[in-house]
Amino acid sequence: MNIEARLSLFDREFSVLKVLPKHIHLLATFCLALSLGSCTTDPTGREVETKASAEELLMKGQQYKQAGRIELSRKCLLAAIKTDENSHAAKLATQYLKFNLPKEPITIEAEQRNIIAHNQAKSGDIKAAKNTFANLIKDYPNFEWPYANLAALYAKEHDLEEAETLLRKALSINPDYANARGMLVKLESLRREAKKEQNLKEQIQPD
């Protein structure tokens, strides 16, 4: 199957997915980025068509990542780099690979369980989603995404301490994990704003 046919098949598969918003809003200012997907089986398996331009492979790698298909994304990005390592697309693929994908390869089972938890959260079953993420962390402690995804759920419930603990654990596994780092910055900003508000309330005393 050539690259055009594979891309068309890929687009048809993922066009039916309901992807959660990229950010969870907490107290109007706290946005937590999430990478979601569904539990559908990829029609092309784990093989990646490498007879394509670096730009096409970069695009496909980004699409797979947004669908939660980590290792397919990784293969596309690595293929983009290999195809034309001096191109702008290859440089973008290198950066995307470093800052947006897990540091170490992830099993299909871990990928699917991460996606299942996202779909549980999407359906409103937060308790089930938290349990699925927590069990995923237990079984795959070096997979950084579930830590950040579970942190997002705790932050939405205003449990900022637990959220911070999880984010720092994710960053201890992968210091380049851009999503967790950005979430932690927003969390710290939210705390500063909450402290200012509390200080202001303490200064206002009734007669």
Could you tell me the residue ranges of all domains in the chain?
Answer: 3-20+35-100, 108-194
Residue 190, beta-bridge partner list: none
| Separation CA 142–CA 139 (nearest Å) | 9
Cβ partners under 8 Å of residue 175, min gap 6: none
Q: In this structure, what token pair is assigned to residue 183? A: 């979430």
Collapsing DSSP to helix, strand or coil, 122 comes out as: helix
**Does the domain spanning 108-194 belong to CATH 3.40.50.300?**
no
Q: What is the pLDDT of residue 180?
A: 96
Distances in Å between the alpha carbon of 113 and those of 11, 83, 129, 132?
A: 22, 32, 10, 7
DSSP code for 106: -
Q: What is the pLDDT of residue 153?
A: 96
Q: What is the pLDDT of residue 24?
A: 32
Q: What is the pLDDT of residue 132?
A: 98
- Pure H helices in the chain: 3-14, 54-66, 70-83, 88-100, 108-122, 126-139, 145-156, 160-173, 178-203
Q: What is the pLDDT of residue 191?
A: 80
Is the separation of the CB atoms in 175 and 144 below 8 Å? Answer: no
Residue-wise pLDDT for 48-92, tens only, equals: 565 789 999 999 999 999 999 999 999 999 999 999 989 999 999
Is the separation of the CB atoms in 104 and 145 below 8 Å? Answer: no
User: Rounded to 5 degrees, what angle do the CA atoms 17, 118, 193 make?
Assistant: 120
| Separation CA 26–CA 183 (nearest Å) | 11
| Separation CA 194–CA 192 (nearest Å) | 5
Q: In this structure, what token pair is assigned to residue 126? A: 């937060």
Q: Which residue has the tokens 């907490």?
A: 26
Can you list the residues of the chain whose pLDDT is less than 50? 1-45
